Amino acid sequence: MSAARPPSRPEIEAAPRRVLKQGERDKADLFVVDLGGVPTVIKDFRPKAWWVRLIGRVQIAREVGAYRRLAEISGIPRFVGRIDAHAVALEWIDGQALADASDRAENGPEKLAQLRGILDRIHAAGVVHWDLRARENLLIDRAGRLFVIDFASAVHLRPGGLLHRWLFDRLRLIDESAYLKWKGMLDAGRYTAEEQEFLERFRFWRSLWFHRRQAWRGKTGPPP
């Protein structure tokens, strides 16, 4: 159960905290505070340089919009609230990154089915995660339940709207490629011929993306 309301800035600054991740220069800090006995995750850009705070305002706004669309969807941390323009409060999930779990491939098909269900619910709400390939963005709790986190890169379009009809099926291909990456990591069965063909096309186009500098330089093989 999460805090009933978002904490104020003075409350989070006064509360004891446990740092989860000290963000790099252009990334938010992540920490847990205890609010009346309820551990709550805070994602905060405020300590960063002014230009990072400007970028952070956009990311926080995007993430808040995604979490509001995904309210009450299982497999998503509960949105506690926006603290201010630079910070957001979320439900604390007592678990670990699935990629780091020593038994991640145990019951792999069941875990993959959980992920499929979460993705389907996210997409039905008009949201594309867009960063699910990141190893740290899929958690597993002590009960074996999966949670998708970090919607800072998410795109959300109103289902049935013009942009949704034009773009959504294309945008969600990023999430589908991530789903297949996790299928391999979870040892959840062989890829079908259709899935293998999709992955090969995706790897080709991904190798051309601007940020894939190593691929351009010929220092790596096809991206995973």
Domain finish residue from 68, 91, 114: 91
CA-nearest of 29, 49, 199, 180 to 115 is 180
Q: How much is the pLDDT for 203?
A: 82
Same-domain status, 87 and 143: no
Q: Let me know if residue 179 belongs to a domain.
A: yes
Q: Is residue 156 part of a domain?
A: yes
Same domain, 139 and 181: yes
Residues 70 and 22 in one domain: yes
Look over the chain and give the mean of its residue pLDDT values, rounded to a whole number: 89
Q: What is the pLDDT of residue 2?
A: 43
Same domain, 22 and 110: no
CA–CA dist 207, 23 (Å, integer): 27
b/e code 106-123 from CB counts within 10 Å (16+ = b): eebeebbebbeebbebbb
Q: So what's the pLDDT on residue 224?
A: 47
**Residue 150, domain member (yes or no):** yes
Tokens of 94: 């007592």
CATH number of domain containing 120: 1.10.510.10
Do 116 and 194 fall within a single domain? yes
Give percent of the chain above pLDDT 90: 79
Q: Are residues 103 and 202 in the same domain?
A: yes
> Distance between CA 76 and CA 66 in Å, rounded?
11
Assess contact for 179 and 116: CB atoms under 8 A: yes
Domain boundary among 91, 114, 135: 91
My answer on whether 121 and 202 are in the same domain is yes
Are residues 112 and 41 part of one domain? no
* In-domain check, residue 201: yes
Quickly state the pLDDT bin for 216 (edges 50, 70, 90). Answer: very low
Residue where a domain terminates, one of 33, 63, 91: 91
48-52, 62-66, 78-82, 206-210: the lowest-pLDDT one: 206-210
Q: What are phi and psi of 54, to 5 degrees?
A: -65, -45
Cα 37 vs. chain centroid, distance in angstroms? 26
- Do residues 105 and 153 lie in contact, with contact meaning Cβ atoms separated by under 8 Å? no
Residue range(s) defining the domain that contains residue 83: 14-91
pLDDT in tens, 10-32: 999 998 999 999 999 899 999 99
Q: Do 71 and 117 sit in the same domain of this protein?
A: no
**9 in a structural domain:** no
CA dihedral (140, 146, 151, 153) in degrees, to 10, reads: 90
pLDDT per position as a tens digit, 121-166 = 999 999 999 999 999 999 999 999 999 999 999 999 999 999 999 9
For residue 4, being part of any structural domain is answered with: no
Could you tell me which residue, 217 or 13, shows the higher pLDDT? Answer: 13
Regarding whether 64 and 165 lie in a shared domain, the answer is: no
CATH number of residue 60's parent domain: 3.30.200.20
Average pLDDT over residues 101-116: 96
51 falls within a domain: yes
Q: Are residues 48 and 153 in the same domain?
A: no
Residue 209's pLDDT band (boundaries 50, 70, 90)? low
> What pTM does this model have?
0.87
Domain count, the chain: 2
Question: Do 38 and 79 reside in the same domain of the chain?
Answer: yes
Confidence of residue 204 (pLDDT cuts 50, 70, 90): confident
Asked if residue 37 is part of any domain, the answer here is yes
Q: What is the DSSP code string of 125-137?
A: TTEE-S-TTSGGG
